[in-house]
Each structure stands twice: as C-alpha cells, then as structure tokens.
C-alpha cells in the first residue's frame, strides 16, 4: 500500500507550472473542431483557469495532463471562490463605471475573442445533457481535458489514473470525442455506457466508463 501511494504521488507531482500545462492542452486541442476560430492565447487562458481550479494530474516532465471531477472537493470549492471574486470585481466596476470605462472596453474585446467558444458551448448544451444521462449511476469520477504532446505520455498518464481509481474504488467516466478515441480508451478498460451523441462540431461523442477493479492493476483487460 505504501509503495502504491508513493508511486501515485510521484506520478501526480505538481512540479510543472499551471501555465505550462495549459500550453500542453492548447497545443493538443487547438485544432479540435469545437475550438475552431479560437486564438491560441485566449484558449490557453481558458485551459489555465480549468487546470488552476481543477483536480489535475500530470506527468513529471509536464508533457501530459488531465483533470478529474469528483475525486475531491477541490474543484467545487475553488470554482465557487473564483465565481465570488469575479462577481465582487464586476460589482465594483459597475459602481465606478464612470471612471472604469477603459476596463469595460477591455471586456468588450475579451467578449469578442471568446465569442466563437461561447457560441459552440451554447449550441452543445443539449448534446452535453444527453451525454450526462448516459453516465453510470452513483458518483463517478469524470476524466476530462486529457492532453499530451509526447508520444506515449498520455497513455502512461491514463494508466496511472486507472491505478489510482482502482486504489480508491472509483468508477471513472469520460466522453470520448469520436469513435477513434473510444477505441483508444477501450485499451484501459473503458466501455460505452450509452448511444453516441452528435456534437455541434459534427463529431459523434461516445459516453464511456470504467469500474474499479478489486486488487488494482489498472490498464485494459
């Protein structure tokens, strides 16, 4: 047990900065259809925020990263705090609009930069609901924002996450963006849990899950 825990700490060490990991995610996702017309800089900021408040996992070199939702209360707590800080800032700016108009001008520019992502997100609301309906019962740990820029690094990271899941008795769930990725995740023991869902990008997402295996072992069957 001690050896396993030490190994997990080693593989999930936060030795690489969040901004660098956000660069990995940007490089991996920038060409995905759902991020079409998004500039790399604004996209990297989105991933930076996701990784900063999320329960992330990364290899030591920082060439592979993913996030887990449901593994700990950290994402919810930090997310609520970030939302409260944001609302407080907006309230302060609103009450001083006559002198903070340059800041509001910046907000307009930012809104224009993120408009493509906002439109894509709104268009995919019903599709994401359909994917959530196919998740396994209980409280699965959701794997998301899986990115890698080094051959083999992503595979090793997912294998490590499955070992951690077996250790804690987690059921892992994720949405494979397409059938090719679904075949990839089958190697680690993930299986489809519902019908494919066509996303606004045109890709057919596959809801998948992997139940914890007594005795650990991770990986595929």
From CA 120, how far away is CA 144, in angstroms rounded?
Answer: 18
Coil/strand/helix, residue 207: strand
pTM across the whole model: 0.80
Give the pairing of strands 141-148 and 172-176.
Answer: parallel
Tokens 């609301």 correspond to: 125
> DSSP secondary structure string, 109-178?
HHHHHHHHHHHHHHHTHHHHHHHHHTSPSS-PEEEEEEEESSTTHHHHHHHHHHHHHHHHTPPEEEEESS
Coil/strand/helix, residue 206: strand
Q: Which residues contact 172 (CB under 8 A, 6 or more apart)?
A: 140, 141, 142, 143, 161, 162, 165, 190, 209, 210
Q: Encode the chain (221 residues) as per-residue pLDDT tens digits.
A: 333 333 343 344 456 799 999 999 999 999 888 888 889 999 999 999 999 988 999 999 999 999 999 998 887 787 788 788 877 877 776 777 776 767 767 777 777 778 888 888 888 899 999 999 999 999 999 999 999 999 999 999 999 999 999 999 999 999 999 999 999 999 999 999 999 999 998 899 999 999 999 765 555 54
């Amino acid at each position: 047990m001690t050896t396993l825990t030490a190994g997990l700490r080693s593989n999930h060490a936060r030795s690489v900065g969040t901004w660098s990991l956000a660069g990995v995610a940007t490089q991996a996702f920038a060409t995905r259809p759902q991020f079409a017309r998004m500039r790399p800089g604004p996209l990297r900021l989105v991933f930076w925020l996701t990784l900063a408040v999320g329960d992330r996992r990364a290899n030591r070199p920082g060439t592979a990263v993913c996030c887990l939702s449901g593994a700990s209360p950290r994402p919810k707590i930090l997310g609520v705090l970030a939302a409260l800080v944001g609302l407080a800032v907006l309230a302060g700016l609103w009450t001083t609009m006559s002198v903070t108009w340059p800041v509001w001008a910046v907000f307009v520019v930012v809104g224009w930069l993120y408009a493509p992502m906002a439109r894509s997100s709104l268009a995919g609301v019903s599709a994401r609901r359909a994917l959530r309906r196919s998740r396994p019962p209980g409280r699965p740990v959701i794997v998301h924002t899986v990115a890698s820029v080094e051959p083999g690094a992503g595979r090793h990271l997912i294998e490590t996450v499955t070992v951690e899941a077996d250790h804690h008795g987690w059921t892992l769930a994720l949405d494979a963006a397409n059938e090719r990725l679904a075949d990839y995740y089958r190697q680690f023991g993930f299986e489809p849990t519902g019908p494919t869902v066509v996303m606004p990008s045109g890709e057919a997402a596959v809801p998948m899950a992997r139940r914890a295996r007594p005795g650990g072992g991770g990986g595929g069957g």
